[in-house]
Amino acid sequence: MGRLALEVADVFLAHGPAWRQAQRGHLSLTQLKVMSAIERCRSSALGGHVLRCAGCGRDQIAYNSCRNRHCPKCQGPAARRWLAAREADLLPVEYYHVVFTLPAPIGQIAYQNKAALYGLLFDIAAETLMRMRPIRSTWARASAPPWCCTPGARR
Q: Does 148 bind Zn ion (CB under 5 A)?
A: no
Q: How many residues bind Zn ion (CB under 5 A)?
A: 6
Neighbour tally for 58: CB within 10 Å: 8
Q: Which is nearer to Zn ion, 52 or 81 (CB)?
A: 81
Q: Does 40 bind Zn ion (CB under 5 A)?
A: no
Q: Which is nearer to Zn ion, 52 or 67 (CB)?
A: 67
Among 41, 121, 129, 148, interactor with Zn ion by CB under 5 A: 41
Q: Which is nearer to Zn ion, 37 or 129 (CB)?
A: 37
Among 66, 121, 129, 148, interactor with Zn ion by CB under 5 A: 66
Query: Among residues 131, 132, 136, which one has the least CA distance to residue 151?
Result: 136
Q: Which is nearer to Zn ion, 40 or 125 (CB)?
A: 40
In angstroms, give the least distance from the CB of 143 to Zn ion. Answer: 19
Q: How far is CA 14 from CA 3, 11, 46, 86, 102, in A?
A: 17, 5, 19, 34, 29
Residue type, 139: W
Q: Does 74 bind Zn ion (CB under 5 A)?
A: yes
149's enclosing H/E stretch is strand 147-151
Among 9, 73, 137, 146, interactor with Zn ion by CB under 5 A: 73
Tell me the β-bridge partners of 103.
none
Residue type, 17: P
